[in-house]
Amino acid sequence: MFDGRRAIIEIDDAGKTVYFDAYRLKKITGTRIGPILGLSEFSTPFKAACEIAGLYPGDKPNKYIEAGNIIEPVLRRYAVANAALTTEMLGCGPLRVEEPVPGDKCGYDHFHNEKQFGGMVDGYLTANGTRKAVLEIKTSNSRESWDDGSGGYTDVPMQYMLQASLYAELSKLDKIVFLVGFLGESDYARPKQWVPDETNSFFVVKDKLDMSGHMKECADWYNEYVRQGFTPEWTEKDADVLKYLKAFKG
């Protein structure tokens, strides 16, 4: 199996920069927009550059990633069963959930016509065969980060708004339906036993963000750094990524 670290030319400790052969570049996906713009609590511009360059394969599975992977199809079935709720929220319908094309059937990209941006949607809401909204499924252990202060959970974290808004933009849609499932700490030990209901799972309808400025900023960053074969400077938050890069013995 090809190890992307073979593309590394130099790890410059003084400049806190990695230089690499820029011949296997990946797209800017929705999960990378937040990090590129410095608006993610989970990632950084340096880490995003390493992922796009193929130097870093992404974080190893942990309980949060594994629980999310297990629960995503459960929440999608919940969305199907509760389509009447989203019909009322969107003011059109009756709505159905369009299943996404599986990753292994589409090269893990639903937007092959796009050269620089891409990614995978969690589904669409459709009415009479026409797509009306992007469906974005999330799991979270922090109700506080979604709390809107009015008894609801409509304050979608910006990194998720950017992700879903990119997919809406690429899909030529204006609406996003988030379905968030909140898990307690014990649920991460037994994610297969978690059951969505009206107390732990919520639909949130949002208008797509204006992505023109965000996409231009990301494209400019892409052209300034990764297309030229080097990363932005790493920070102390990138210690694990840097350790992985330096561990290569090829």
pLDDT per residue as tens digits for the range 26-83: 999 999 999 999 998 889 999 999 999 999 998 888 899 999 999 999 999 999 998 8
Tell me the CATH number at 181.
Answer: 3.90.320.10
Q: Which of 179, 181, 177 is nearest to 143 (CA)?
A: 181
- Distance (Å, whole) CA 138 – CA 196: 12
- Per-residue confidence (pLDDT) for residue 6, from 0 to 100: 94
- Distance (Å, whole) CA 155 – CA 142: 12
In a domain, 203, yes or no: yes
Same domain, 39 and 104: no
Range of the structural domain that residue 95 is part of: 63-212
Ranges of beta strands (E only) in 166-213 are 175-182, 201-207
Q: Which of 46, 45, 9, 26 is nearest to 242 (CA)?
A: 46
Q: Which of 66, 107, 116 is nearest to 223 (CA)?
A: 116
- Per-residue confidence (pLDDT) for residue 86, from 0 to 100: 82
Contact 46, 59 (CB under 8 A): no
- Per-residue confidence (pLDDT) for residue 87, from 0 to 100: 81
3-class SS at 155? Answer: coil
Residue partners of 82: CB distance under 8 A and separation at least 6: 203
Same domain, 110 and 160: yes
Ranges of beta strands (E only) in the chain are 8-12, 17-20, 28-29, 95-98, 117-118, 124-127, 130-140, 175-182, 201-207
Residue 10 has pLDDT above 80, yes or no: yes
Q: What mean pLDDT is reported for the chain? A: 93
pLDDT tens, position by position, 177-191: 999 999 999 999 999
Burial class (CB in 10 A: 0-12, 13-18, 19+), 81: exposed
Same domain, 153 and 55: no
User: Which neighbouring-strand residues pair with 20?
Assistant: 8
pLDDT tens, position by position, 119-139: 999 999 999 889 999 999 999
- Distance (Å, whole) CA 55 – CA 29: 16
In a domain, 145, yes or no: yes
DSSP 57-100: --PPP-HHHHHHHHHHHHHHHHHHHTHHHHHHHHT--SEEEEPP
pLDDT band, very low/low/confident/very high, at 1 (cuts 50, 70, 90): low
Q: Which of 113, 150, 136, 109 is nearest to 204 (CA)?
A: 136
Same domain, 82 and 192: yes
- Distance (Å, whole) CA 47 – CA 51: 6
- Per-residue confidence (pLDDT) for residue 56, from 0 to 100: 96
In a domain, 222, yes or no: no
In a domain, 218, yes or no: no
In a domain, 165, yes or no: yes
- Token digits of residue 41: 């609590």
pTM higher than the cut 0.85: yes
Q: How many domains does the chain have?
A: 2
User: Which neighbouring-strand residues pair with 175?
Assistant: 207
